[in-house]
């Protein structure tokens, strides 16, 4: 009888742990937002991307590089920081120009208005790709 009660309690405990994990995982996913939603753009009418680096250099991406960066931006999900102190510096910012002459700015420090967002593997990959493209035009970029 005691053995049966322990087995039932163990199963119940495991069920609670699994349920808690699922709730935590889905909560984490809910807190992530696609960059396209945050910036309210689908990046479909991009005519040019200029990147201004922290050292003052400006590079305009070529068509193939623009397509690659836009694809990365479309897939990018970021999570808002619960508490955020605005930062001062950044490695670069993108000015994404649209064919209707509107533009969107993407800052590498992930500060949008008064909100900050956490960096993740995808944002780091994007940063590395942007710097790599910049270094094709300016070999000693950010040095």
Q: What is the mean pLDDT of the chain?
A: 82
15-24, 92-101, 119-128: the lowest-pLDDT one: 15-24
Contact 118, 79 (CB under 8 A): yes
**Mean pLDDT across 95-118:** 92
Selected residue with higher pLDDT from 3 and 103? 103
For domain 33-137, give its CATH number from 3.40.47.10, 3.40.225.10, 3.40.50.300, 3.30.1490.410: 3.30.1490.410
Angle between helices 63-75 and 121-137 (to 10 degrees): 170
pLDDT of residue 15: 43
pLDDT at residue 19 greater than cutoff 70: no
Q: What would the mean pLDDT of 94-115 be, rounded to a whole number?
A: 92
pLDDT at 8: 55
pLDDT tens digits for range 42-70: 999 999 999 999 999 999 999 999 999 99
CA atoms within 13 A on the CB side of 11: 6
Inter-residue contact 52 to 58 (CB < 8 Å): yes
Interstrand relation of 46-53 and 92-98 (parallel, antiparallel or unpaired): antiparallel
**Residue spans per domain, the chain:** 33-137
pLDDT value of residue 4: 54
The arithmetic mean of pLDDT across residues 106-117, rounded, is: 91
CB 55 within 8 A of CB 141: yes
């Amino acid at each position: 009888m005691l053995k049966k009660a322990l087995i039932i309690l163990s199963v119940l405990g495991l069920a609670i742990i699994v349920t808690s994990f699922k709730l935590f995982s889905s909560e984490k996913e809910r807190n992530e937002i696609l960059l396209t939603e945050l910036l309210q753009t689908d990046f479909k009418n991009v005519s040019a991307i200029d990147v201004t680096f922290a050292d003052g250099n400006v590079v305009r991406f070529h068509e193939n590089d623009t397509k690659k960066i836009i694809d990365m931006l479309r897939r990018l999900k970021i999570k808002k920081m619960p508490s955020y102190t605005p930062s001062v510096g950044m490695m670069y910012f993108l000015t994404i120009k649209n064919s209707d002459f509107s533009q969107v700015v993407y800052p590498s420090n992930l500060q949008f208005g008064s909100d900050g967002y956490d960096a993740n593997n995808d944002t780091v990959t994007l940063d590395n790709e942007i710097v790599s493209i910049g270094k094709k035009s300016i070999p000693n970029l950010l040095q």
